[in-house]
Amino acid sequence: MADPIAEAAAKHPAPEGVVYTYGTAGFRTKAQVLDSVMTRCGLIAALRSRLHKGKWIGVMITASHNPPEDNGVKLVEPLGNMLQEEWEVLSTTIANKPSPEDVSKYYQEIASKFSIDLSSPARVVVGRDTRASGPRLLDCVLDGLKAAGAEIKDCGFMTTPQLHYIVRSLNTEGTPHAYGTPTEQGYYEKFGAAFKAALRGKKPSGSLTVDCANGVGGPKLRELIKYLPPKEEGLEIHVVNENVIKPESLNVDCGADFVKTNQRAPPSSKVGPNDRCCSLDGDADRVVFYFKDSNNSFHLLDGDRIATLVASFLGDLVRQAGLADSITIGVVQTAYANGAATQYVEKTLKLKVDCTPTGVKYLHHAAEMLSIGVYFEANGHGTVIFSQDTLDSIAKHEPSSPGQKEALAVLVAVINLINQAVGDALSDMLLVEVVLAHKNWGPQEWLGTYTDLPNRLSKVVVDDRRKFQATDAERRLVKPEGIQKKIDEEVAKVRQGRSFARASGTEDAVRVYAEAATRTEADDLARKVSELVKTFGGPGAA
């Protein structure tokens, strides 16, 4: 008897000797070895949808900020969240099955384990970024989906957050929690209208130059601009690095990762002093801001800065609207947040800070525990989420003065402007612009809120990064034995020192972070800790 699952898997056989892992951001590696993984992810997406009683599941084909020759895939849960961890493991297992028959058998096993009726409806929506390998890998996903008998919606080019938005909107359509019209146009209408409402007549000063990393963010931003107020009334946006015709230029010398890692503007940048700029990454789920001052010095305004800016603004609105008694705001960071940012949130803003392991899913979970959870990774991934209780209190709040009424109106518009499903570079960018316009701030004022401690992020290649096991939100190593004590000794030697090492979840390396009172001390500390990592992780080390 014909077995469509085995047939689909046979059409896209797994290359020999490659081991796949569904990591921090799904499967991500060289595009040429991903065909089999794509088909199998199609199968997993169909199963996941059936388990959710036919709700829409998303499949996003992207490798974000990675080089153009890479690609990847991540699955999106019905409310737009990232895939549940247990299913990451199932995805990893099916991706590594050697033969088509093993794939089919495992597919059946998952179905019986979760009592999934394989004849029930499955619905899957697919999007992709602009990489050259995208069309081929899309076909591989579609083969998996067709074999599993899923209903398919192919959205073509999408930013990652747009796909999350569409998934959430499809699944909430017609319910009291309807998120928006489940189309790309619906996305622009929702965020365009919210931006206008949140500005409330305030006009951002100057212009904003947006570097789109030569990725999918470029054409999507061009589209979004059509739904924003005209530049005379609203924001003047200059779009740069939007060449999607040459996919080999994706993320090359531009984009959020380039700017954050090199701490400088893309070489092509031609902006003047104090002009606001921001850079998106390849799938537009991450944004960092920056500017050059009148001495031509570069200043980065990263995810920590966005979190502090937004948290302080939301704190003011909640207070001014008379809601401070019922709503508390918290900020969620990772260990990579600059110590000065953490201190600013705790001491100046007087808000609670949580620290989680690296990876948006951990930050998102922690933020879900708060009434308003502002979460950002230093590299610019993040958003703000509002609990249902908070949304209910805001909806039924009766303002008792014109001042309260105004603050409440801004708060409601800002909530609509924030993509609740996932961190979204375009929505975060508009949010920052709204806050700056309301505060009447330029980038200098924003930068002036606190002074970053000099820091250094390095990468050390070791024999086996799995030897490095961390605890305490990845701030301390429990293995290799003895290394943490040595790191502590180095940290103690410098002023305001902090350093940690952890195995990367996306690259075959150990990352070392160090900060200290001065640039020399921070660099020194990073070098010393990197040496320790090399020694403890070198050949023959336990």
Ligand X SMILES: CC(=O)N[C@H]1[C@@H](OP(=O)(O)O)O[C@H](CO)[C@@H](O)[C@@H]1O
Residues numbered 60-119 forming contacts with ligand X, rule: CB under 6 A: 64
64 binds Mg ion (CB under 5 A): yes
283 binds Mg ion (CB under 5 A): yes
Query: Whose CA is closest to 287, among 431, 124, 123, 102?
Result: 431
Q: Residue 381: name its binding partner from Mg ion, ligand X, none (Cβ under 5 to 8 Å by kind).
A: ligand X
The verdict on whether residue 211 carries a ligand-binding annotation is no
The CB density around residue 224, as the number of other CB atoms within 10 Å, is 23
- Nearest-Å Rg of the Cα atoms of the chain is 23
Count CA atoms within 13 Å of residue 533 on its CB side: 30
Query: Whose CA is closest to 135, among 16, 247, 13, 22?
Result: 247
Q: How far is the CB of 363 from ligand X (least distance, A)?
A: 9
Is residue 443 reached through a cis peptide bond, with omega within 30 degrees of 0 on the bond before it?
no
Mark the segment that binds Mg ion (CB under 5 A) among 56-64, 190-198, 270-278, 423-431.
56-64
The verdict on whether residue 392 carries a ligand-binding annotation is no
The C-alpha torsion from 140 through 146 and 150 to 156, rounded to 10°, is 40
Q: How far is the CB of 282 from Mg ion (least distance, A)?
A: 6
Q: How far is the CB of 504 from ligand X (least distance, A)?
A: 3
Mark the segment that binds ligand X (CB under 6 A) among 97-105, 130-138, 142-150, 501-509.
501-509
58: phi > 0 → left, psi -120 to 50 → alpha, else beta; which?
Answer: beta
Number of residues that bind ligand X (CB under 6 A): 15
End-to-end Cα spacing for the chain: 52
Q: Which is nearer to ligand X, 360 or 447 (CB)?
A: 360
Tokens representing 278? 């921001």
The conformation of residue 344, written as its DSSP 8-state character, comes to I
Q: Are 304 and 345 in contact (CB under 8 A)?
A: no
Angstrom distance (rounded) from CA 532 to CA 162 = 43
The verdict on whether residue 449 carries a ligand-binding annotation is no
511 binds ligand X (CB under 6 A): yes
Q: Residue 358: name its binding partner from ligand X, Mg ion, none (Cβ under 5 to 8 Å by kind).
A: ligand X
Contact with ligand X (CB under 6 A): which of 5, 9, 14, 25? 25
470 binds ligand X (CB under 6 A): no
Angstrom distance (rounded) from CA 121 to CA 289 = 44
Mark the segment that binds Mg ion (CB under 5 A) among 140-148, 273-281, 423-431, 484-492.
273-281
The verdict on whether residue 171 carries a ligand-binding annotation is no
Tokens representing 519? 């640039």
DSSP bridge pairs for 277: 209, 290
Count CA atoms within 13 Å of residue 106 on its CB side: 20
Q: Which is nearer to ligand X, 143 or 257 (CB)?
A: 257
Q: How far is the CB of 57 from ligand X (least distance, A)?
A: 20
Q: Residue 285: name its binding partner from ligand X, Mg ion, none (Cβ under 5 to 8 Å by kind).
A: Mg ion
133 binds ligand X (CB under 6 A): no
Q: Which is nearer to Mg ion, 217 or 315 (CB)?
A: 217
Q: Which is nearer to Mg ion, 141 or 280 (CB)?
A: 280
Closest-approach residue to Mg ion (CB)? 64
Q: Residue 283: name its binding partner from ligand X, Mg ion, none (Cβ under 5 to 8 Å by kind).
A: Mg ion
Query: Whose CA is closest to 287, among 243, 261, 257?
Result: 257
Mark the segment that binds ligand X (CB under 6 A) among 7-15, 155-163, 403-411, 505-513.
505-513
24 binds ligand X (CB under 6 A): yes
Angstrom distance (rounded) from CA 53 to CA 126 = 18
Which of 36, 49, 64, 499 is labelled catalytic? 64
Contact with Mg ion (CB under 5 A): which of 281, 304, 428, 474? 281
Angstrom distance (rounded) from CA 265 to CA 255 = 9
The verdict on whether residue 132 carries a ligand-binding annotation is no
Angstrom distance (rounded) from CA 78 to CA 168 = 6
> CA distances (Å), 328 to each of 62, 351, 383, 404, 465, in order?
36, 8, 16, 17, 39
The verdict on whether residue 476 carries a ligand-binding annotation is no
The verdict on whether residue 445 carries a ligand-binding annotation is no
> CA distances (Å), 293 to each of 85, 98, 296, 447, 451, in order?
44, 56, 5, 11, 15
Query: Whose CA is closest to 410, among 199, 158, 96?
Result: 199
Q: Which is nearer to Mg ion, 88 or 283 (CB)?
A: 283
Q: Are 341 and 355 in contact (CB under 8 A)?
A: no
The verdict on whether residue 264 carries a ligand-binding annotation is no
Residues numbered 335-394 forming contacts with ligand X, rule: CB under 6 A: 336, 358-360, 377, 379, 381
Active site residue 64: yes
Q: How far is the CB of 61 from ligand X (least distance, A)?
A: 15
Closest-approach residue to ligand X (CB)? 505
The verdict on whether residue 466 carries a ligand-binding annotation is no
257 binds Mg ion (CB under 5 A): no
Q: Parallel, antiparallel, or unpaired: how do β-strands 510-515 and 498-503 relate?
A: antiparallel
* Close Cβ partners of 258 (under 8 Å, ≥ 6 residues apart): 213, 251, 266, 279
Q: Are 220 and 284 in contact (CB under 8 A)?
A: yes
The verdict on whether residue 368 carries a ligand-binding annotation is no
428 binds Mg ion (CB under 5 A): no
The verdict on whether residue 172 carries a ligand-binding annotation is no
Number of residues that bind Mg ion (CB under 5 A): 5
In the annotated binding site, the residues are 64, 281, 283, 285, 377-379, 502-506, 511
In the annotated binding site for substrate, the residues are 377-379, 502-506, 511
Q: Rule CB under 6 A: which residues touch ligand X?
A: 24-25, 64, 336, 358-360, 377, 379, 381, 504-507, 511
In the annotated binding site for Mg(2+), the residues are 64, 281, 283, 285
Active site members: 64
Q: Rule CB under 5 A: which residues touch Mg ion?
A: 64, 281, 283, 285-286
